Amino acid sequence: MTKLNATNPRKLASQERSKMTVEAILDATARVLVREGYARTSTNRIASVAGVSIGSLYQYFPNKESLVAALVARHNRKILSLLENTMQECTSEDLNSTMRELVRAMIAAYRVDPELHRILMEEVPRIGKLAEVEAIRKDMLHLVRYYLEQCKDNVEVRDLDMAAFICATAVEALTHAIVLNDCSHVLSDEATIVEHITRMIAGYLGTTHNSPVAT
């Protein structure tokens, strides 16, 4: 007998009503997680907030871990979709313009339910290495790598895989600090923030950045 993965849903919703039920359960999971934290979150509590029976919940999710994994997957899809849509609108082959749009897009993406994002960042490692947590990072790397490829004539770093990793990781860390307020400096002027980060990335990639940056 095949052992059920603890983070896999029990069954996938196919009918519209079933999909609505799953969305309601995931919405409730997000609310309970943000309000009470992972340790105090339970399937009974989630079912109550979702307005469904515990039996209905278990039709789709065998345990709390599978609920959190599905919630992470949904949250990541929203972030990646926003990033992809924004970057697809960036038709310029000018690297500085592309990196500026990437920074703006990542700040906007991490503002998609920041409190939930904080909880997922803090709590998910405690329940194991969920594949969905790493998937968003890989997809983001591929996205950055693609746009670096389009502008490679302006990039002095020859290893584009390394360049994509450095850029994506640096911007991700900075946007986390900005959006989740994990820094002591008050950063209220987003345009200035974007220019500072773009200047840093441009310097690493070996490009010129002529936009004035406020001090």
Q: What is the pLDDT of residue 1?
A: 40
Q: Which residues make Cβ contacts (< 8 Å) with residue 15, sequence separation at least 6?
A: none
Give tens-digit pLDDT for 45-99: 999 999 999 999 999 999 998 898 888 888 888 888 888 887 777 666 677 887 8
Report the C-alpha gap between 159 and 93 in whole angstroms. 19
Amino acid at 206: G
- pLDDT tens per residue across span 125-158: 555 545 555 667 788 888 888 888 877 888 889 8
Distance between start and end Cα atoms, the chain = 64
Contact 137, 143 (CB under 8 A): no
pTM over 0.75: no
Place of tokens 């220019």: 195
Of residues 80 and 201, more confidence is placed in 201
Give the model's pLDDT for residue 177: 78
Chain centroid, CA 88 distance in Å:
18
* Residues 74/52, Cβ–Cβ less than 8 Å: no
Closest to 56 measured CA to CA, from 16, 25, 23? 25
Which is nearest to 66 in space by CA: 131, 139, 110, 157?
Answer: 131
- Return the structure tokens found at 7: 């983070």
Cα-based distances in Å from 96 to 16, 194, 208 = 44, 11, 8
How far is Cα 89 from Cα 135, in angstroms, rounded to an integer? Answer: 23
